Amino acid sequence: MTAEQLKLFEMELTQKHIDDGLECIRCGIVQPIENYKSVYVKGNKKGEIKRTCKSCLRGHQFLVNQLRLENPYPSKDYKCPICERDITQIGRLGQPRMQTWVLDHCHNSETFRGYLCSNCNTGLGGLKDSVERVTNALKYLKKHKESL
Structural domain 74-130, CATH architecture: 3-Layer(aba) Sandwich (3.40)
With vertex at residue 61, the alpha carbon angle to CA 60 and CA 67, rounded to the nearest 5 degrees, is: 90
pLDDT at residue 69, rounded to an integer: 96
For residue 37, what pLDDT is reported? 84
User: Does 15 have pLDDT greater than 50?
Assistant: no
Give the right CATH number for 11-70 from 3.30.60, 2.40.160, 3.30.450, 3.40.50.
Answer: 3.30.60
The mean pLDDT value for 102-131 works out to 93
The predicted structure's pLDDT at residue 97? 75
Which stretches within the chain are classed as H helix?
A: 3-20, 54-70, 87-90, 118-126, 131-143
**High-pLDDT (> 90) share of the chain, %:** 53
pTM value surpassing 0.95 = no
